[in-house]
């Protein structure tokens, strides 16, 4: 029992002893420590701290300051600092901490500790510093241009991805090779790159024959951050297929011009049991030394017809600004001319264009015995600013002879397009016509006028179309009046619109003396309500008035001039739901109204219900209609003695693609039941295979018609193959052959002398095309359009040629290229500064620019690498290398900014280093005492 109390007493004494000791360590010196962070920006690499030490006691204090820094932080003053304080003295001690680029992003703690001479901790303070997350990534190709001399060798593209930020990056690189044979040549690589590290990625691909034929092409590489797939950069590498013979290729029009297509399609079609059709279509062209020739053809052979059917077939010759065409002509002027004939057009220097042509109105080019029997015509048209769709004006004269009406028609007219601004645009036409009728021995003048415009007044969108032509006008719309005007606006989230159409059709002919008249008036006023999630609702009022005498024979009074009328008032509602996530959509339409029919005095009810549902690759449609919406429907109903017109349609469609979109399939079923079409089910199945060199297709359909005693069953089947030949980019300009000859000019007189040798396997650059000379020092660049070209300098094998411009103006252009020996020089930039006195700056040696001057002219610009080094290859001579101070880091300068150097052939020279200095600032230490 006694031993227990003795142990308890010893423990109590020990506790009080330790407590008093600890209390003495913290309070024996009355010294106050404080730390202030004076850094203004978290992006700078220099941290300024001010440590305040205050001795509040009446005796001297001696001790030391110790700084504990995290990884990536370095104290310029050192990890420990001795300190002596007089009684009641205050010291302010500046501390500079350099933050390395490899410092971790986020929060970092710097601890400042104060010890006395006995090593006892007096006080400590923690300072928090936050480094922003930097997710910068750079992507650069190791070589911006790759030269390929063998088409059988694989192509390797290398890019360096540098993580210049301070966090780890998970990335995906996608490389695309532009192979014409396969548009989906993509390669992917994934990697995780630590901060301040870089990685090199290599993509290897064996180009197809079509890609290897191209003189030059670009490979694109794009980088994405995972998992968001956010793009962080891209790069491109130019590939030059070098050869002693190259052919000019204009890549700007390679994928957009219709005349680049070079293909042939053959097909067999069977219609029902009696008709067999064999068809050949195709197009293709070849370049000539002056222009090109392009042929487009469509020939069909029918089993019951001896003469082949040749349509949409013509031969085109283009030479510069001239174009000649012979074959099928389809000229959609105000009086359309369609048939076989010839055309010519010429475009002048200021984009003034003239067109002329003659047409025999027979659509079959192979027809033998009907030359000019179906009528003929010719036209001429002139256009100012033909290449400007927003501001142009044209005038045309059209002549056509109609042998059936025995009349000569002529039209002279003009058309203008003018865009006042982005909101207001106007199109106007005015045509005058005259017709000489041979049988009646009379002349009929006529005219037409048309105007189309779009505009905007405040928030109201306007659109109008107005047309008028006289009764005997020989153009496409004879005896017509058409007025259309629409208004639309956005009121809050409501879309309001109004559309009005008034038309009158009353043409007159000498050979057809019965008066024709058709009039239509239509008014729509509607609103699309604001979208509610995935739902839309629109409601509109519709008024329709139709009158015509064209259907009088259906009512048993063909010779009567009486006009039959139908007018209706309807409410149209449309409800739609679209779910992009589920790839579904539903559209329901409901139309109800009251209508007056010709043979009824009372208004009758009519309605139409429609629905469309789409799910992924399926689509379903259905329509139910009760009541006639048009005079034609009412006339057919009256003809068979029915009281009310009804129509029901159903349709189902399916579209899909397989095998990486190489096989496309489309199929569907339909059923129609109405008075006009009877009960008519139908179906179709279409399939297409898309390959590299050929396409194959299969089309089939079945149609059944059943109405009363009439029954028809029709099956159509078609199979065909399209062969894709080598594409040719056609050029209408004059083309030449550049024959280049490169030689070693030993005596420097730029002339090929006896004893001088041809330069074999030497690469020449003309614009963007690379050529390699053969064993005779020769290279050819073929099909080159006349014009200006640049021989770009390319130093190699210790020899160079001068960069120069030349003009090709002959069909054969000889180019002599003398080669001179070159030299080179090296240089470097280095930093010289006091770490304790230097202001904040970016310590980098890369991307500093130097200009190489000769005769006060800049001949070349070079850039330093990451180590601050640079190299240049130059012809022999005296040069001055000038440092561009604006490319230096902030707060740095260079006192000696230029060096002179003499370049000697086959020798590597070195210039003195450019010394980069850093601006300094004074460090003040403030002392305060009693």
- Given a contact cutoff of 8 angstroms between Cβ atoms, the answer to whether 202 and 144 are in contact is no
User: For the residues of 229-274, what is the DSSP string, one character each?
Assistant: TEEEEEEEEEEEE-BSEEE---GGGTTT-GGG--EEEEEEEEETTT
Position 814 scores a pLDDT of 93
* Contacts for 250 with CB less than 8 Å, ≥ 6 apart: 729, 731
Output the six-digit token pair for 13. Answer: 């004494």
- CB atoms closer than 10 angstroms to residue 206: 12
- Give the pLDDT confidence score for residue 7 in this predicted structure: 53
Could you report the per-residue pLDDT of 212-225, keeping only the tens digit for each? 878 788 899 999 98
Structure tokens given for 630: 């048009």
CATH architecture of the domain formed by 823-918: Sandwich (2.60)
**3-class DSSP state for residue 102?**
coil
Nearest Cα to Cα of residue 610 among 594, 587, 628, 576 = 587
Domains 137-241 and 823-918 share a fold: yes
3-state secondary structure of 632: helix
Tell me how long the chain is.
930
In the chain the first and final C-alpha atoms are separated, in Å, by 62
Task: Spell out where 242-388 has E strands.
Answer: 245-247, 263-271, 275-287, 292-302, 309-310, 314-319, 322-331, 337-347, 353-360, 376-384
Check: CB of residue 365 under 8 Å from CB of residue 375.
Answer: no
Return the CATH superfamily for domain 735-821. Answer: Immunoglobulins (2.60.40.10)
3-state secondary structure of 211: helix
Distance, in Å, from the CA atom of 713 to the CA atom of 272, rounded to the nearest integer, reads: 8
Nearest C-alpha neighbor of 878 from the set 856, 902, 862 = 902
pLDDT recorded at residue 77? 72
Strand partners, 322: 319, 346
- For residue 415 the two structure tokens come to 């058309």
8 A C-beta contact, residue 296 and residue 280: no
Residue 556: the pLDDT is: 67
Residue 428: strand, helix, or coil: strand
Over residues 812-853, the pLDDT tens digits come to: 999 999 988 878 889 999 988 887 778 878 788 888 889 999
SS3 151: coil
- 692 neighbors 182 (Cβ within 8 angstroms): yes
User: Which CATH architecture does the domain made up of 2-132 adopt?
Assistant: Sandwich (2.60)
Report the C-alpha gap between 526 and 522 in whole angstroms.
13
What are the residue boundaries of the structural domains of the chain, listed by start? 2-132, 137-241, 735-821, 823-918
User: Which CATH topology does 137-241 take?
Assistant: Immunoglobulin-like (2.60.40)
The ranges of the chain with pLDDT < 70 are: 1-29, 38-45, 101, 183-184, 249-260, 556, 558-560, 707-709, 795, 797, 922-930
What is the pLDDT, as a whole number, of residue 468? Answer: 96
């Amino acid at each position: 029992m006694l031993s227990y109390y003795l142990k308890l007493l010893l423990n109590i004494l020990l506790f009080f002893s330790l407590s008093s000791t600890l209390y003495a360590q913290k309070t024996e010196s009355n010294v106050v420590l404080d730390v202030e962070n004076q850094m203004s920006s978290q992006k700078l690499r220099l941290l300024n701290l001010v440590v305040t030490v205050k001795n509040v006691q009446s005796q001297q204090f001696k001790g030391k300051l110790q700084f504990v820094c995290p990884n990536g932080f370095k104290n310029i003053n050192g990890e420990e600092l001795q300190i002596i304080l007089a009684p009641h003295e205050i010291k302010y001690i500046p501390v500079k901490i350099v933050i390395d680029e490899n410092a971790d992003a986020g929060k970092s703690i710097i601890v400042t500790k104060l010890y006395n001479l006995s090593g006892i901790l007096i006080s400590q303070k923690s300072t928090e510093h936050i480094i922003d997350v930097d997710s910068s990534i750079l992507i650069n190709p190791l070589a911006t241009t790759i030269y390929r001399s063998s088409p059988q060798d694989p192509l390797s593209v290398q890019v360096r991805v540098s993580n210049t930020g301070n966090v780890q990056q998970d990335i995906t690189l996608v490389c695309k090779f532009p192979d014409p044979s396969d548009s989906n040549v993509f390669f992917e690589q994934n990697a995780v790159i630590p901060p301040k590290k870089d990685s090199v990625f290599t993509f290897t691909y064996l180009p197809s024959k079509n890609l290897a034929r191209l003189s030059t092409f670009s490979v694109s590489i794009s980088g994405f951050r995972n998992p968001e797939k956010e793009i962080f950069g891209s790069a491109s590498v130019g590939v030059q297929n070098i050869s002693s013979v190259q052919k000019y290729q204009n890549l700007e029009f390679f994928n957009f011009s219709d005349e680049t297509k070079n293909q042939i399609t053959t097909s067999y079609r069977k219609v029902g049991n009696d008709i067999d059709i064999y068809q050949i279509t195709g197009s293709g062209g070849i370049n000539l030394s002056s222009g090109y020739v392009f042929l487009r053809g469509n020939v069909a052979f029918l089993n019951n017809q001896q003469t082949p059917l040749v349509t949409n077939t013509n031969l085109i010759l283009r030479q510069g600004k001239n174009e000649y065409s012979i074959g099928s002509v389809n000229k959609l002027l105000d009086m359309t001319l369609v048939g076989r004939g010839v055309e010519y057009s010429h475009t002048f220097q200021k984009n003034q264009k003239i067109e002329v042509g003659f047409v025999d109105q027979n659509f079959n080019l192979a027809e033998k015995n009907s030359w000019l029997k179906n009528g003929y015509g010719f036209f001429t048209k002139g256009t100012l600013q033909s290449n400007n769709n927003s501001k142009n004006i044209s005038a045309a004269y059209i002549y056509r002879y109609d042998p059936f009406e025995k009349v000569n028609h002529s039209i002279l007219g003009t058309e203008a397009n003018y865009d006042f601004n982005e909101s207001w645009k106007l199109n106007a036409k005015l045509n005058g016509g005259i017709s000489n009728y041979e049988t009646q021995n009379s002349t009929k003048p006529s005219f037409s006028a048309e105007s189309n415009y779009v505009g905007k007044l405040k928030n109201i969108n306007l659109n109008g179309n107005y047309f008028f032509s006289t009764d005997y006008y020989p153009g496409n719309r004879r005896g017509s009046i058409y007025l259309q005007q629409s208004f639309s606006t956005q009121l809050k989230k409501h879309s309001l619109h109004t559309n009005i159409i008034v038309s009158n059709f009353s043409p007159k002919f000498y050979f057809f003396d019965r008066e024709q008249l058709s009039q239509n008036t239509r008014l729509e006023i509607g609103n699309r309500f604001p979208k509610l999630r995935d739902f839309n609702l629109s409601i509109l009022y519709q008024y329709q008035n139709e009158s015509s005498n064209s259907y009088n024979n259906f009512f048993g009074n063909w010779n009567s001039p009486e006009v039959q009328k139908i007018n209706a008032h309807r409410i149209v509602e449309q409800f739609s739901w679209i779910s992009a996530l589920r790839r579904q959509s539903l559209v329901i339409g409901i139309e109800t109204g009251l209508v007056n029919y010709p043979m009824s005095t009372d208004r009758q009810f009519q309605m139409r219900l429609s629905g469309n549902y789409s799910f992924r690759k399926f689509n379903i449609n259905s329509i139910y209609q009760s009541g006639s919406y048009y005079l034609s429907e009412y006339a057919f109903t009256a003809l068979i003695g029915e009281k009310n017109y009804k129509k029901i349609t159903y349709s189902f469609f399916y579209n899909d693609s397989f095998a990486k979109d190489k096989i496309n399939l489309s199929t569907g079923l339909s059923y129609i039941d109405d008075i006009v079409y009877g009960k008519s089910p139908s179906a179709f199945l279409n399939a297409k295979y898309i390959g590299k060199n050929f396409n194959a297709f299969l089309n089939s359909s079945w149609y059944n018609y059943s109405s009363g005693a009439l029954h028809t069953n029709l099956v159509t089947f078609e199979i065909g193959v399209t062969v894709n030949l080598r594409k040719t980019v056609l050029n209408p300009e004059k083309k030449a052959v550049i024959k280049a000859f490169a030689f070693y000019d030993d005596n420097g007189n730029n002339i090929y002398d006896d004893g001088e040798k041809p330069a074999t396997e030497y690469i020449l650059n003309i614009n963007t095309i690379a050529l390699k000379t053969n064993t005779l020092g020769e290279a050819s660049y073929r099909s080159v359009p006349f014009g200006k070209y640049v021989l770009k300098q390319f130093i190699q094998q210790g020899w160079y040629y001068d960069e120069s411009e030349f003009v090709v103006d002959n069909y054969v252009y000889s180019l002599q290229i003398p080669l001179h020996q070159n030299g080179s020089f090296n240089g470097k930039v280095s930093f010289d500064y006091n770490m304790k006195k230097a202001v904040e700056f970016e310590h980098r040696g890369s991307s500093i620019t130097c200009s190489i001057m000769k005769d006060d002219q800049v001949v070349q610009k070079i850039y330093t690498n990451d180590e601050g080094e640079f190299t240049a290859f130059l012809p022999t001579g005296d040069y001055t290398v000038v440092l561009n101070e604006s490319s230096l880091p902030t707060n740095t300068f260079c006192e000696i900014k230029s060096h002179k150097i003499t370049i000697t052939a086959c020798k590597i020279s070195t210039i003195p280093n450019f010394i980069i200095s850093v601006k300094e600032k004074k460090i003040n230490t403030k002392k305060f005492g009693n």
